[in-house]
Structure 1
């Protein structure tokens, strides 16, 4: 029997990159996956690939900055599949640049799509997750960089997600809900853009990874998420886990 047979998962930002890789991996282990994001065409492409591989998926277009859209996402998921056991908060707009470069609007969008959307969706899913639920939130090791130049806004949003996740783990553990955070490095479209835009910085970044490579969205990140959501990890709660080839020391 597949490890997540009978489970229903919501994965935000599942139209491409890390979110898509996680959705593929969850579906391969038997989960019915609600793939959500802003671009329906990308979501339908992810669903088509899951179906092609023998899995089951539902595409739901959703702007995670919209509180009403998040509520509709949860309702549609429960109506279609009958429940929710796994929530993966992956999607986020990223405010990159120095403090002088980042506009208020970009920082606000980072918080709205990151910690605020995570906060809202965790609470909306809570009644359905009770008893046997698993939340995986995505953060970044940017908050642990030795030089924070150019990453202050981004790191601030991701560290807020880690704090909210730890609180959820402590408050909801008694309700049968586990909450953990992953901090992945993977060759997503966003990271490819960054590598092309900042080649010298990207080369130094890659050289600082002990394993000397970036992760694969499905095989390295998605399959770990499967393990974290399975019975194999039933006593893992409140942790931040770097999936980065050994680069970060969370301390």
Structure 2
């Protein structure tokens, strides 16, 4: 038995990277995982690993940029697994680029997959979260970088998610729902590829992180989210937890 025993956790973007690491960490503490994402093969891989470790996980194909799919996905999770007590909004299209370069289409995709999808998923899960539910949304330290060049559009989407997180915490606290955000810096497949391709730049980058490394998706990011989802964090809501090894200064 773990500290999240038998709670149903819905994790978006759980087929790889940070979402997968979070799913592994939650499952290790007894949560039943609804593994949500766009690519079935990746979802099945995550589920298989959780099952091999002794946990329970089911795949649910959903494009979070489609509001109707979100509604159907939540209904399917509740029908198959019995409810939703933990919601992790991780999936997001990343609109990187300098302000004169980033396209309107990329910016809109960032908002559709980020704050709009987060809001839609929270609304869809709200009836099932009432009582003792937990939501963890994904922000980013891009909003407080020492040099925001190339990160403006992405940071804007993430700051919108932080605003929604705070509002939900204030509005839903009376319903027994806690809502927090994390700002992770994790070794996703994309970042790992960049590190492997640019070893000298990566070495300089590591020096900007006080702890000297990028966070592990499961051990560093996932375990922190386990804390947020547990009763150990029962009096914490409306907050943003930086998980970036001390790199960004949040003030």
Q: TM-score scaled to structure 1, two decimals?
A: 0.97
Deviation of the 1:194 alpha carbon: 3.8
Deviation of the 1:196 alpha carbon: 5.0
Distance 2:129 2:10 in 1: 11
Q: Secondary structure at 1:245's aligned position in 2? A: coil
Q: Secondary structure at 1:183's aligned position in 2? A: strand
Distance 2:111 2:24 in 1: 27
Cα RMSD of the aligned pairs, angstroms, is 1.2
Distance 1:199 1:149 in 2: 22
- Give aligned pairs, total: 251
- Provide the residue aligned with 1:63 in structure 2: 63
Deviation of the 1:3 alpha carbon: 0.2
- Provide the residue aligned with 1:85 in structure 2: 85
- Provide the residue aligned with 1:73 in structure 2: 73
Segments of 5+ residues of structure 2 without an aligned counterpart are none
Distance 1:201 1:96 in 2: 18
Q: Deviations over 1:67-93 (max 9, x none)?
A: 010001100100001110000000000
- Provide the residue aligned with 2:53 in structure 1: 53
Deviation of the 1:23 alpha carbon: 0.2
Distance 2:152 2:193 in 1: 19
Q: Deviations over 1:20-73 (max 9, x none)?
A: 000001011010000111110000000000000000001011100000100011
Task: Tell me: CA distance 1:200–1:99, structure 2 relative to 1, closer, same or farther (3 Å).
Answer: farther
- Provide the residue aligned with 2:105 in structure 1: 105
Distance 1:164 1:198 in 2: 36
Distance 1:199 1:157 in 2: 29
- Provide the residue aligned with 1:119 in structure 2: 119
Deviation of the 1:146 alpha carbon: 1.8
Segments of 5+ residues of structure 1 without an aligned counterpart are none
- Provide the residue aligned with 2:166 in structure 1: 166
Distance 2:6 2:16 in 1: 24
Structure 1 residue runs of 4 or more that deviate by more than 3 Å after TM superposition:
193-204
- Provide the residue aligned with 2:150 in structure 1: 150
Distance 2:54 2:147 in 1: 45
Q: Deviations over 1:98-133 (max 9, x none)?
A: 111111111100000000000100011000000010
Distance 1:216 1:248 in 2: 17
- Provide the residue aligned with 1:225 in structure 2: 225
Alignment of 1:169-180 (within 5 A): 169-180=169-180
Distance 1:126 1:49 in 2: 29
